[in-house]
Amino acid sequence: MLFPPSPFEKRTFNQQTFYLKRDDLLDKDFSGNKARKFHYFLTHDFPHIKRVVSSGSNQSNAMYSLSILARLKGWEFFYVCDHIPQFLKENPIGNYKAALLNGMNIIESHTREEEVQNWLDEKSLHVNEGGRQREAEEGIEILANELLVDIQTHNISNPYLVLPSGTGTTALFLQKHLPFPVFTCKTVGDSAYLQKQWAMVEPTLRCYPTILETDKKYHYGKLYVELYVLWQRLKEEMGVEFDLVYDPVGWKALLEHISSLDGTPIYLHQGGILGNTSMLQRYARKANML
């Protein structure tokens, strides 16, 4: 056990009660959800490991969290990106800036997974994009157990949990360890792909998370005025800042389906606020152009 349990709060939005599990407040350095997913690496010793290698987008929360992990462990950190815009290279912000300050070595390559292989040796730990791996289960099971205590402490009847998915790893392992429904939505790829991934990781699970579809299709990391407006309303009415990549889609999916969902909603805030500086900058530039 590395982090003390994250806060659990009762809030109102749209004249409706929501409970929030505040994994954004889990630790000041880690993005909440990645602290759970990398718990295993934090709490176990890897005496032969000298380097961690991963890949993904240039503003990824996982990238930033791995830079913290590497710093704590005294490992080198190599991270492979498809593309780093010139603008970002000249004006580093958000997760990209913070990860560089933690000593990240960034490699730009259009053949990302092949390039990753070039940096791996017997002293390297390979972490899949977004932390999609088995080891994530350990920290996510701890989160599930915290939620069971929170629900009992607050006397919540008929709970259900809602969280947006990237790789779907967090939703899958939460559903595995929770006796009530876990609802999620996709932000990357399509729902069939998410379900196929789950079936591959946990072929014998009795119950998988339920995917809530949004009326409109949202593309990962793109800007949508209605999502920005929703994010702003959540911030004003609840006094909570959510992440701008995943959470607006998560809340949109929840609000579109809430009238047909039975029980008391708990929303999992998975952190990622550091990434908001770059999203806000992009929204501001878009507003200027309009």
Ligand X SMILES: *Cc1c(COP(=O)(O)O)cnc(C)c1O
The residues that touch ligand X, with contacts defined as CB under 6 A, are 31, 33-34, 61-62, 130, 164-171, 243, 246, 270-272
Positive or negative, the Cα torsion across 156, 159, 162, 167? positive
Q: Work out how close the CB of 98 gets to ligand X at its nearest, in angstroms, rounded to a whole number.
A: 14
For ligand X, the closer CB: 168 or 265 = 168
Max Cα–Cα distance, the chain, nearest Å: 56
Q: Work out how close the CB of 137 gets to ligand X at its nearest, in angstroms, rounded to a whole number.
A: 11
Give CA–CA dist 131/153, Å, rounded.
31
Query: What 3-state DSSP class applies to 188?
Result: coil
Q: Work out how close the CB of 163 gets to ligand X at its nearest, in angstroms, rounded to a whole number.
A: 7
For ligand X, the closer CB: 6 or 169 = 169
- Asked if residue 262 lies in contact with residue 180, where contact means CB atoms within 8 angstroms, the answer is no
Q: Work out how close the CB of 173 gets to ligand X at its nearest, in angstroms, rounded to a whole number.
A: 8
Query: What 3-state DSSP class applies to 141?
Result: helix
For ligand X, the closer CB: 94 or 164 = 164
DSSP label of 208: P
For ligand X, the closer CB: 60 or 124 = 60
Residue among 84, 82, 83, 85 nearest 112 (CA): 82
Tokens encoding 235: 């911030």
Residue among 65, 54, 56, 49 nearest 99 (CA): 65
- Asked if residue 71 lies in contact with residue 98, where contact means CB atoms within 8 angstroms, the answer is no
**What residue is closest to ligand X based on CB?**
272
For ligand X, the closer CB: 40 or 154 = 40
Q: Work out how close the CB of 58 gets to ligand X at its nearest, in angstroms, rounded to a whole number.
A: 14
For ligand X, the closer CB: 159 or 164 = 164
For ligand X, the closer CB: 165 or 175 = 165
Which residues, 6+ apart, have CB-to-CB distance to 91 below 8 Å? none
Q: Work out how close the CB of 244 gets to ligand X at its nearest, in angstroms, rounded to a whole number.
A: 9
Q: Work out how close the CB of 250 gets to ligand X at its nearest, in angstroms, rounded to a whole number.
A: 8
Give CA–CA dist 261/76, Å, rounded.
46
